[in-house]
Amino acid sequence: MEQGDSPRSVNRKLTSLKSFYRFLLKEGVVDYNPMRRIISPKTSKRLPEFIETEKIMALIEQMADIKGFSGLRNRIIVEMFYNTGIRLSELLTLKETDIDFHSDTIKVLGKRNKERLIPFTKKFGSLLKVYIAEKEKSFGLVPELFLTDKGGKMYPKRIYLIVKNHLAGVTTLDKKSPHVLRHTFATHLLNNGAELNAVKELLGHANLAATQVYTHNTIEKLKRIYKQAHPRA
């Protein structure tokens, strides 16, 4: 630690040493484990990175005039991550039949094969209809919602690059991934007063602990507002 290694790096090395000494004890090479007395340093929690509302709105506005199958598909992918908080693995399995335009919901098959319904706005629904019509014009009736430029099955790396290229113009975050848009979706909901349990259901989390990490961002915002607005802050 004194040499400048982070607590995370130290803990990684300690884990290796602890495993090594357990092995030595088991093999009878040593009769004492010196690692038992070593206390691991505390590590700070990494807060989820997210994009500010103004930047996301600017990105959506930039994409407003995009036309053609590939451009529309890319726009829908970016907006779907932000509008629904869907996971990359979930987006890849979406079919046209998963979208219900009557109730404005998307049926998602999440982890542990658990289904959930995620609502979307009328505006996004209208955009989806335009995209689906363009897809059918290009490739006919194909059940998968997202296809490659040649009509093949979409794959994770392609989705990742689409998101990364679009986010590059609006954010300087190191990570420009679908998961950052999922974090942004959750953070923006909580910042605007959404209940934690509701966000948990929308994200498809098994328990509240996984969702609570987003409240740290909300608390930081509350602190800033407090400092700016309170007479004695």
Note if 21 is an active site residue. Answer: no
In SS3 terms, 176-188 reads as CCHHHHHHHHHHH
Catalytic residue among 55, 107, 179, 216: 179
Catalytic residue among 21, 82, 131, 214: 214
Q: What is the DSSP string of 100-140?
A: ETTTTEEEEE-GGG-EEEEE--HHHHHHHHHHHHHHHHHH-
Note if 131 is an active site residue. Answer: no
Catalytic residue among 182, 183, 188, 200: 182
Note if 179 is an active site residue. Answer: yes
As beta bridge partners, residue 169 has none
Note if 232 is an active site residue. Answer: no
Contact assessment for residue 185 and residue 83, using Cβ atoms and an 8 Å cutoff: yes
Note if 188 is an active site residue. Answer: no
Query: Which one, of 112, 119, 90, lies nearest residue 179 by Cα?
Result: 90
Catalytic residue among 12, 22, 111, 223: 111
Catalytic residue among 75, 87, 135, 200: 87
Q: E strand or H helix at 117, and its extent? A: strand 115-119
Which positions are catalytic?
87, 111, 179, 182, 205, 214
